[in-house]
Structure 1
Amino acid sequence: MLVQARGCTILVKNTIPSKKIPRPSSCGEGVEVLAVSVQLRETHLQIYNIYSSPDCATLDASEVLSLCATSPTFLGGDFNAHHEAIGSTKPRNQNGHHIAKVMTNVPEAALLNTGEATHMAGGVLDLFFTSKITSQNATWNIIPFC
């Protein structure tokens, strides 16, 4: 299954049962969100991909990150957020403040980032969260851009 919007894509192998799920009520003006649910053995996993442009000043990821408290969830994307709580060394911005606050309010959302740069020019713009219940088995890595 291929699900995409302007800046987001989620690819799911066609042998894995999956379906597109509706976008959350609002993640902010101009924020792109794609979501699918997949069935992995006994686990029903929700996968969200978010893109918040550098010009977006209304990111609201609280609803999506709150899903980590109630169900197996993976959330990744380019949040264009800067805050030391998420490993950014750049000056804090509004999106960074928002993400740091939501992380405090939703301790069930585990940040998978290790501080490693996720952007070609350096910096941590791409963030990856999962439910604490699934974080023990979750791994991710950065594939160098050729």
Structure 2
Amino acid sequence: MKNYFIANGEILNTDMSIEEIESQVQESLDEYTSGMAQFMVKELSDKEIRMFFIRDFRCDPNKLIVYDADMSLITGVGIGAFQPQQVGGYPMIYPLNFAGKNFYTDITAFIRFYKFQLFEEMGQLVEHIGLRCYSDRILMQIVF
């Protein structure tokens, strides 16, 4: 059975090979980040995908939050969707908070947004999404 997911705006499915997925997402990432981020699939099956984005960004892995740049990197949606109107954004997620120079939200709010994006784009339902942000990578698990 084919299950769909999104990585940097690319609509992918579990019937694709790991090489196909990584190549398609990396090409998109290279264009979007000028080669400053990498994408890898750790595990792929009909019922689950574990993937990670490698990038350099200051964040505290003990806080259950995700920053605007990471939300944009994962979804492929422009960063303005994760910033409030007073700074020129058009927020698609709530709540948004400010930390230094970046906006952030809690992981559950982002997962809710990602699930909605999957359902809206492909009608895909998921059983579980796990997300963890570290200073050098973002780990994401989707169970269908």
* Fold conserved between structures, TM > 0.5: no
The one of the two structures with greater contact order (alpha-carbon pairs below 8 A, sep at least 6) is 2
Q: What interval of TM-score do these two structures reach, taking the shorter chain for normalisation?
A: 0.3 to 0.5
More helix by proportion, 1 or 2? 2
Q: TM-score, normalised on structure 1?
A: 0.32
